[in-house]
Amino acid sequence: MFGLLLIQSPDLVEGRPVAIGLNGQGTLLVVGDSLTVGTEAFGLLSKKVNALGTWNSVKIDAKVGRKASLGASVIEKGLTASTTALVIALGTNDMISKPETWYPRWVIDTVMNRTRGLPVLWVNLEFSQTGRSDWRARGVRFNKELRLAKLRYPNLTIADWNTAFTPKSKSRFINDGVHLTVSGYKTRSSFMVPAIYSFGSAIVNASTTTVHQQPQRPQRPWSHPQQLLQRAQAQAQVQLQQQPLDNCSVVRWGNARSYVLFRFSVCYRPR
């Protein structure tokens, strides 16, 4: 029904794409398989994620039958200077065809080693309870290895689709025990969008907890090192009193003539 799906929705200012926004976020790259194809087609995933406003651009690269082992190279080629986060929804096709117990850890490491240390949200696996038991067992093994991978990769977050999805009524698996009904894909989209929003909020909050300020140069030179030290300490105290928010400030005072420079890093929290 679907083959390869490539969608990119840039944010434009005066007709030009904006690479990085004021919140430090640029492009979100979503790499997936047929489940992502269906989630985009029936659940309007990219439109909803773009509407969150966290990233300036959302790029979805999804293909029917894609394994995580092949997705690793897609990620490597798809990363650009403006990519600031990834969503990975891969592993289902691997578990259908790969019974080896060592495989899940190997393929997860293969993918994560291509992410350049960027924040990653990985959607875990779920097979139908009425489908093939061997696929379900492999899915459990994969999800376990994904949880263990968080110990090796601090940039990894898991979106727990396995726990969240309860097939019922029209929102369910189709007969193959892997793919979903139209309502099922809409449910998957409704799960992924809040998960991506929380993921993005955590990234933004982590990157804006400290603000670096560069004070202006002193109005007149200070020729003696002790005077420089006293002046810097006095300025730091003023900043501590005037700034009510968590902050880190760099206080620099120096005398170009004598090549003397003091640098203080001041971090503080509100009372």
Q: b/e per residue, 165-204, with b = 16+ CB within 10 A?
A: bebeeebbbeeeebbbbeebbbbbbebbbebbeebbeebb
pLDDT at 19: 82
Domain definitions of the chain by residue range = 4-207, 212-268
Pick the CATH number of 4-207 from 3.40.50.1110, 3.40.50.620, 3.30.110.70, 1.10.150.240: 3.40.50.1110
pLDDT at 18: 55
pLDDT at 60: 98
Tokens 């403006």 belong to 82
CA–CA distance, 250 with 212 (Å, rounded to integer): 7
Sign of torsion over alpha carbons 59, 1, 91, 168: positive
Q: Which residues contact 87 (CB under 8 A, 6 or more apart)?
A: 28, 29, 30, 31, 32, 120, 121, 122, 123, 159, 192, 196, 199
pLDDT at 231: 63
Do the Cβ atoms of 177 and 131 come closer than 8 Å? yes
Q: What is the identity of the amino acid at 213?
A: Q
Q: Report which DSSP code applies to 243.
A: -
pLDDT at 261: 41
Residue numbers of the chain with a pLDDT score lower than 70: 1-18, 208-271
pLDDT at 230: 62
pLDDT at 235: 61
